[in-house]
Amino acid sequence: MKVLKFGGTSVATPESLQLVKEIIKQRIDNGQLAVVVSALGGVTNQLVECSEKARAGDLDYEKTLKELEDRHLSMCKELLTLQAQSPTLSQVKIMLNDLEDVLRGVFLLKELSKRASDTILGFGERLSSLIIWSFLNSESIDCELVDSGQLIQSEDHLGHPAVDFPETSKRIVRYHEKNRDRAVLLFPGFISSDAEGKPTTLGRGGSDYTAAIIANSLNAESLEIWTDVNGVMTAHPKWVSRAKVISELLYEEAMELSHFGAKVIYPPTIQPVLKQDIPIYIKNTFRRDAEGTKIHSSFSSTEKVIKGLSSIEHMALLTLKGSGMVGIPSFSYRLFKALSNARVNVILITQASSEHSITVGIDQKDAEKAKNAVNNEFQNELKTQAIEALKVELDLSVVALVGANMKEQVGVSGRMFETLGENGVNIKAIAQGSSELNISVVIKRSDLKKSLNVLHESFFLSERKRVNLFIIGVGNVGSSLIDQIEKQGEYLYEEHRIDIRVIALANSKKLLVNEEGINLKEWQKELSSGEKMTAENFLSQMKSLNLRNSIFIDNTAEKTVAELYKDILSSSISVVTPNKIACADSYENYLELKSIAKKYGARFLFETNVAAGLPVISTLNELINSGDRILKIQAVLSGSLNFIFNNYRGERPFAKIVRRAKEEGYTEPDPRIDLSGVDVQRKILILIRESKIRMNIQEIKGASFLPEGSLEAESVDDFFKAIEAQEAFFQKMFNEANSQGKKLKYVAQYENGKASSGLKEVSEDHPFYHLEGKDNIIVFYTERYKDQPLIIKGAGAGAEVTASGIFADVMRIAHQ
């Protein structure tokens, strides 16, 4: 004997019922089948709705009832042959009339007793089983309809079904004895009756349990649960789109997963089959060939430590606290008794070792009821202030990691907390089941999706890590970056198991957001028809999406954008930027950004602030972090000035060369920042600060090499005009150096607490003399590199190299 259970979606439509029939036919030759069916998908919810409305005296219940009637009648008409239709239709109509009568009674009395409610809800399965029975018979399947309501004896016990197993089994076995010759015994799921024979149910989702009870009573060879997913998955597919099917689970693991919200199995289902070691198969009615999940008792120690994640979305935490608690006898007992009497189900418990407080997690919808019950129980202690009023926190969720091997493995919880912490998820409470099959944490509901996804990536190793980018600035650097991401995407996905997606893109006017990732082949077009860009809009969308591994990239040179970093880092979103403004601002601001990043587990990376993509800051960080000390820095830090002085030979005008540098993307958007020396001063300042030396930009000595007054120009255009008019000045400057065989280099320097920058004439024996094109050179003298300095040299400007430096910072975060 095999038991097959078909859930609501499997029996929802005439098409799905054809699939059900095929599955039954395929198995029928190998022996007798017990088939359990749910109500047509969605029907139980509608019955709940009807009865609530009727109780509230809302006549609208009739509308819902009418929908239910139509649904069942048209199912008969669409599914059944003409011959089978008329007897079935009349039986269905009789049942619907009964339902109408009960609902009418509820409406008139405005009272919905437990018995009335169970009677109403039971109509779903009674109707569906009747129609399916008629259908299977009309398809020449020898099928007997069983009144499982009369066979299964159960009462509601504090919100849970309490089945009288000996009595129920006796009845099922007796019934079976008499019907051994039928090919299929068809049972409506969910329904039962109490000791007096009055209707009860097995609780929402209870058809799974019906099937398990039958499997247990008849000692079935297997229990197949046919549903609408390919099996039990590593997480609820609603939250984690890349959840995978778990091929095998132990009974205890399945129980733990279902207790913590994996709706695919109704929690009480496991117990009755576990006793006899009857395997459960979870299968997809709509994908019959899919492997499914097998739940059984054998154990192999090579299995994965963590089998799955489950979650309960709506949770409340109740905390009872007070100095007087220690002395109060049977304190916890009274708390739990109060909750249990109020029919409040406790999902998890945590108690501080001090015993001064105890926290329980419950379903949010029970919060009010629980609060009243507890305050009532402890009213005397509240009066004497031995305890404080119950603290109720709402809008929480619980996430549980489940796996039987967890107990042999150290570090699982550490990894869980670290993963959540890195993503700025604050853990409200932690509980580990005494079985050590799960660790569960309570978090804010708004963090649920993010938490499940980061944990999923962290614990299912073959999983790809998703990194979500939010980019402001799509000029030279920004568009090169997008280009590189587009080209590298597939390689990173395959080789590094990193899935980089650009979620938001903005320029000063438009903003484009796509939670699933913007199509990087078409971004210009899509951005041009994007929404209006404002910083508030960008930030609020980025924060409310609350995606894991989020990185904000600022490709602008704007102060207003740099001013957003604190807010962004405080939301645990990392910042990567070539924009030097933030790090070159006041020293306090620079330190504050670093400490906010640390506090919220975000990274603040700005490798491209100095020498574009050259690994200058990361090298410097490594020296400092390994205990070295910087003694002296000498550097040519302006790729643009180097380009300009390398190309200016007194022949073509100086202004023209500056213009070319700007066009090729070697200067800041405003070239005055380069030519005034400010850009170089900011860079040397950042190197000094990264060397753990406190300094502000005003302390850096730097004389401008430009002719007087030219920097006072109002606009970039006026500035160009001003330097055009001063060509003779630049020629003189060049000739003076050239006549002595020297070259002009804009050099920055730090030594003994002092920094400066300025134009220098360097002779051929100087290492800076041969610096080509737009290259940079940085020479570090440190305690370790005292005589032979550490030199970094290479392309120090340009959109491509800057973009690749930003990319490198993104990868540093992705790999962490």
Q: Residues in the site for ligand ASP, rule: CB under 6 A?
A: 7-8, 38-39, 44, 124, 189-190, 204-208
Residue 205 binds to Mg ion (criterion: CB under 5 A): yes
Candidates 34, 151, 254, 264; binder of ligand ADP (CB under 6 A) is 264
Least distance between ligand ADP and beta carbon 11 (Å): 9
Question: And the tokens for 373?
Answer: 């019950």
Which sign, positive or negative, has the C-alpha torsion 561, 563, 566, 567? negative
Nearer to Mg ion, 7 or 639 (CB): 7
Q: Which residue is nearest to ligand ADP (CB)?
A: 7
CB atoms within 10 A of CB 373: 21
Interface with ligand ADP by CB under 6 A: which range of 128-136, 259-267, 395-403, 724-732?
259-267
Nearer to ligand ADP, 45 or 357 (CB): 45
Given a contact cutoff of 8 angstroms between Cβ atoms, the answer to whether 588 and 689 are in contact is: no
- Bridge partners of residue 281, in order along the sequence: 224, 294
190 binds, among ligand ADP, Mg ion, ligand ASP, none (CB under 5 to 8 A by kind): ligand ASP
Nearest in space to 447 (alpha carbons), one of 344, 571, 622:
571
54 binds, among Mg ion, ligand ADP, ligand ASP, none (CB under 5 to 8 A by kind): none
Least distance between Mg ion and beta carbon 204 (Å): 8
Nearer to ligand ADP, 7 or 279 (CB): 7
CB atoms within 10 A of CB 118: 21
Residue 206 binds to Mg ion (criterion: CB under 5 A): no
233 binds, among Mg ion, ligand ASP, ligand ADP, none (CB under 5 to 8 A by kind): ligand ADP
Residue 726 binds to ligand ADP (criterion: CB under 6 A): no
Nearer to ligand ASP, 36 or 141 (CB): 36
Question: And the tokens for 813?
Answer: 């975060």
Nearer to Mg ion, 7 or 267 (CB): 7
- What is the rounded CA–CA span in Å between residue 217 and residue 56? 41
Least distance between ligand ASP and beta carbon 345 (Å): 16
- What is the rounded CA–CA span in Å between residue 362 and residue 369? 11
Given a contact cutoff of 8 angstroms between Cβ atoms, the answer to whether 776 and 797 are in contact is: yes
- What is the rounded CA–CA span in Å between residue 153 and residue 168? 6
Per residue in 486-514, is it b (16+ CB within 10 Å) or e — as a string? eebbeebeeeeebbbbbbbbbbeebbbbe
CB atoms within 10 A of CB 333: 9
391 binds, among Mg ion, ligand ADP, ligand ASP, none (CB under 5 to 8 A by kind): none
198 noted as active-site residue: no
CB atoms within 10 A of CB 618: 16
Given a contact cutoff of 8 angstroms between Cβ atoms, the answer to whether 757 and 680 are in contact is: yes
Least distance between ligand ADP and beta carbon 28 (Å): 21
Candidates 238, 629, 649, 770; binder of ligand ADP (CB under 6 A) is 238
Least distance between ligand ADP and beta carbon 307 (Å): 10
Candidates 54, 223, 233, 813; binder of ligand ADP (CB under 6 A) is 233
Residue 485 binds to ligand ADP (criterion: CB under 6 A): no
Nearest in space to 69 (alpha carbons), one of 92, 37, 87:
92
204 binds, among Mg ion, ligand ASP, ligand ADP, none (CB under 5 to 8 A by kind): ligand ASP
Could you say which DSSP state residue 112 is in? -
Residue 8 binds to ligand ADP (criterion: CB under 6 A): yes
Nearer to Mg ion, 205 or 231 (CB): 205
238 binds, among ligand ADP, Mg ion, ligand ASP, none (CB under 5 to 8 A by kind): ligand ADP
Residue 262 binds to ligand ADP (criterion: CB under 6 A): yes
Least distance between ligand ASP and beta carbon 39 (Å): 4
Interface with Mg ion by CB under 5 A: which range of 2-10, 143-151, 384-392, 779-787?
2-10
Nearer to ligand ADP, 34 or 103 (CB): 34
Least distance between ligand ASP and beta carbon 38 (Å): 3
Given a contact cutoff of 8 angstroms between Cβ atoms, the answer to whether 190 and 122 are in contact is: yes
Half-sphere exposure of 323 (CA within 13 A, CB side): 2
Q: Are strands 465-472 and 498-506 parallel, antiparallel or unpaired?
A: parallel
Per residue in 741-767, is it b (16+ CB within 10 Å) or e — as a string? ebbbbbbbbbeeeebbbbbbebeeeee
- Bridge partners of residue 632, in order along the sequence: 751, 781
Q: How many residues bind Mg ion (CB under 5 A)?
A: 2
Interface with ligand ADP by CB under 6 A: which range of 29-37, 231-239, 452-460, 475-483?
231-239
Residue 577 binds to ligand ADP (criterion: CB under 6 A): no
Residue 212 burial (10 A CB sphere; 0-12, 13-18, 19+): buried
Question: And the tokens for 570?
Answer: 């405080």
No. of H helices and E strands in the chain?
30, 31
Distance of CA 8 to the CA centre of its chain: 28
Given a contact cutoff of 8 angstroms between Cβ atoms, the answer to whether 793 and 777 are in contact is: yes
Candidates 72, 236, 548, 683; binder of ligand ADP (CB under 6 A) is 236
Nearer to Mg ion, 203 or 798 (CB): 203
Find all residues with CB under 8 Å of 700, minimum gap 6, and list them: 681, 684, 685, 755, 756, 757
Least distance between ligand ADP and beta carbon 287 (Å): 13
Interface with ligand ADP by CB under 6 A: which range of 17-25, 233-241, 474-482, 586-594?
233-241
- What is the rounded CA–CA span in Å between residue 47 and residue 117? 9
444 binds, among Mg ion, ligand ASP, ligand ADP, none (CB under 5 to 8 A by kind): none
Q: What is the largest CA-CA distance in the chain?
A: 117
Alpha helices of 546-653 — where are they, by DSSP H?
559-562, 565-570, 581-584, 587-599, 616-625, 639-647
Q: Which of 283, 683, 745, 793 is catalytic?
A: 683
Residues at the interface with ligand ADP (CB under 6 A): 7-10, 38, 205, 227-229, 232-233, 235-238, 262-264, 308
Tell me which residues touch Mg ion (CB under 5 A): 7, 205
Residues with a known catalytic role: 683
